[in-house]
């Protein structure tokens, strides 16, 4: 029995030691785990403090112009706060950073709380594209800066970009500058520059350029008033099918001799055939000054001119030469040297008129009526057309009384319409 007890005692001692050892080791592990957790907590606190400190430093650096910090902060906010992201990208973009500029072109329109968001996106898109020195992009950027579209108004920068596009012979920029230099929002009007840009557009065979140049000669914008020059540029536009130019060219011939009345009849007929309903009444009135013996030949000329205009493109001066030869007009055909001289010459003629240009005419085509196929002789007699003059005053007065609309206002309206559709 004693042997059994002794054996059990000998076995129990190791078991007891093992149990005690287990609890000792377990306690040490628990203590180690507690210390590790405490250490990890302190480490996380240190990391959080370091992260806060790093962010504060990043914000400070971003606010003081450090572009990488600005971009980093903007990227952090993109998914959580568009307004803050735009704010930081704006700082980088203002310093010329292309990443920031591209991001603003993409993000500004996403800020639903900003009523100017779409305009700002368009402005920054124009900034990005203008770096390629493409005339259309430079024009769009210049327009944004002059109009304050998505950016504060900057006349100097706007004109610089607009001029760069115009110098590349980009016609919309040339027309814009032609109106800008006599526009009310322009603090430094310059009629001579307005005339030069309109003339350059005209030299590029632009119909609006023809019309605006004619207006300069009619009202004396930086050049002496010259009816013959005004008629020339109107007829250049009329040759290209512009209904308003055809109607105005006819008006300019009313109130003089019978040959001018015949030219007026021709252009009134063409304008009526092109859709200007008022031209028929004027045509019928001017017919009274031509005489029954000559009206058939004038109608034949009108029909021939109408056929020429239908066969596009119409050769330069084709119709003008025809009318000059038929009715003994002393033609005005400015050479390149003469036009270059006009572009170089500073003029102080007259006082500055309102900045207005004729509106586009009608586009619908109506067949000529009451036309004759009979060929006849030209009208050469010098007769005063008193009845027509009484009804229409002078050609100059009639021309000035037309409804004109500035390209400046038209461009604003088009921009607003595009913005509304977007």
pLDDT (mean) for 238-249: 94
Query: Sorting pLDDT into bands at 50, 70 and 90, what band is 418?
Result: very low
pLDDT at 373: 32
> Could you tell me the residue range of the domain that residue 282 belongs to?
226-345
Please state, for a pLDDT cut of 70, what percent of the chain lies above it: 79
Tell me the pLDDT tens digit for each residue of 346-400: 543 443 333 333 333 322 222 222 332 333 333 332 222 233 233 333 333 333 3
* Cα four-point dihedral sign 85, 87, 91, 96: positive
Domain assignment present for residue 69? The answer is yes
Give the domain-ending residue among 300, 326, 345.
345
pLDDT of 190 higher than 50:
yes
For residue 363, give both structure tokens. Answer: 């586009």
Domain assignment present for residue 166? The answer is no
Give the helix/strand (H/E) hosting 50.
helix 2-63
pLDDT at 421: 53
Evaluate whether 70 touches 104 at the Cβ level (below 8 Å).
no
Domain assignment present for residue 62? The answer is yes
6/318 Cα distance (integer angstroms):
138
Q: How far is CA 74 from CA 42, 57, 85, 216, 415, in A?
A: 30, 15, 4, 52, 30
Contacts of 265 (CB under 8 A, 6+ apart): 250, 283, 286, 287, 290, 295, 298, 299, 302
Question: Cβ-count burial of 59 within 10 angstroms (0-12 exposed, 13-18 middle, 19+ buried)?
Answer: middle
For residue 79, give both structure tokens. Answer: 């998914």
Domain assignment present for residue 331? The answer is yes
Note the pTM of the prediction, 2 decimals. 0.68
Domain assignment present for residue 249? The answer is yes
Give the domain-ending residue among 92, 114, 136.
114
Number of domains, the chain? 2
Evaluate whether 291 touches 261 at the Cβ level (below 8 Å).
no
Tell me the pLDDT tens digit for each residue of 22-81: 888 888 888 888 888 888 888 787 777 777 777 778 788 888 888 999 898 888 888 888
Give the domain-ending residue among 58, 79, 114.
114
DSSP E strand stretches across 79-219: none
31/9 Cα distance (integer angstroms):
33
Query: For residue 406, which of 349, 350, 347, 356 has the smallest C-alpha distance?
Result: 356
220/215 Cα distance (integer angstroms):
8
Q: What are phi and psi of 358, to 5 degrees?
A: -70, 150
Evaluate whether 365 touches 273 at the Cβ level (below 8 Å).
yes
Query: Sorting pLDDT into bands at 50, 70 and 90, what band is 420?
Result: low
Domain assignment present for residue 384? The answer is no
For residue 394, give both structure tokens. Answer: 């002078």
Domain assignment present for residue 239? The answer is yes
Query: Sorting pLDDT into bands at 50, 70 and 90, what band is 135?
Result: very high
pLDDT (mean) for 126-131: 91
Mean pLDDT of the chain: 79
Instruction: Give the count of alpha carbons within 13 A of 291, CB side only.
Output: 14
Instruction: Give the count of alpha carbons within 13 A of 177, CB side only.
Output: 28
Domain assignment present for residue 109? The answer is yes
pLDDT of 148 higher than 60:
yes
Q: How far is CA 4 from CA 7, 9, 12, 18, 251, in A?
A: 5, 8, 12, 21, 142
Query: Quick check: helix, strand or coil at residue 264?
Result: helix
66/106 Cα distance (integer angstroms):
22
The full length of the chain comes to 422
């Amino acid at each position: 029995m004693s042997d059994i007890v002794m054996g059990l005692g000998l076995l129990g001692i190791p078991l007891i030691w093992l149990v005690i050892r287990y609890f000792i080791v377990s306690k040490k592990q628990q203590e180690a785990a507690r210390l590790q957790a405490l250490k990890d907590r302190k480490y996380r606190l240190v990391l959080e403090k370091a992260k806060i400190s790093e962010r504060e430093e990043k914000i400070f650096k971003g606010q003081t112009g450090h572009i990488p910090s600005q971009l980093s902060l903007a990227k952090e906010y993109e998914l959580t706060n568009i307004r803050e992201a735009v704010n930081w990208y704006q700082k980088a973009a203002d310093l010329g950073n292309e990443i920031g500029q591209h991001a603003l072109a993409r993000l500004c329109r996403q800020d639903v709380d900003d009523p100017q968001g779409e305009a700002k996106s368009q402005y920054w898109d124009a900034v990005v594209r203008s770096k390629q020195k493409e005339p259309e992009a430079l024009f769009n950027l210049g327009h944004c800066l002059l109009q304050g579209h998505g950016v504060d108004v900057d006349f100097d920068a706007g004109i610089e970009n607009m001029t760069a596009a115009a110098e590349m012979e980009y016609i919309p920029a040339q027309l814009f500058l032609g109106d800008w230099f006599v526009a009310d929002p322009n603090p430094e009007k310059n009629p001579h520059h307005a005339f030069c840009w309109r003339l350059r557009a005209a030299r590029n065979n632009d119909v609006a350029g023809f019309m605006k140049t004619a207006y300069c000669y009619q009202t004396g914008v930086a050049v002496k008033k010259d009816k013959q020059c005004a008629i020339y540029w109107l007829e250049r536009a009329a040759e290209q099918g512009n209904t308003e130019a055809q109607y105005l060219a006819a008006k300019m011939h009313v109130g003089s001799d019978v040959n001018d009345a015949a030219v007026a009849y021709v252009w009134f007929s063409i304008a009526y055939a092109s859709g200007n309903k008022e031209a028929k009444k004027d045509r019928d009135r001017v017919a009274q000054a031509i005489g029954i013996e000559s009206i058939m030949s004038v109608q034949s000329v009108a029909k021939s001119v109408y056929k020429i205009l239908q066969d596009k493109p119409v050769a330069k001066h084709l119709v003008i030469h025809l009318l000059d030869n038929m009715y003994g007009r002393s033609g005005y055909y400015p050479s390149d040297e003469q036009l270059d001289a006009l572009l170089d010459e500073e003029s102080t003629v007259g006082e500055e008129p309102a900045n207005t240009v004729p509106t586009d005419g009608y586009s619908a085509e109506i067949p000529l009526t009451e036309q004759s196929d009979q060929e006849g002789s030209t009208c050469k007699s010098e007769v005063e057309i008193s009845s027509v003059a009484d009804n229409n005053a002078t050609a100059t007065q009639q021309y000035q009384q037309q409804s004109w609309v500035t390209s400046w206002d038209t461009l604003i309206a088009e921009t607003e319409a595009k913005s509304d559709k977007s």
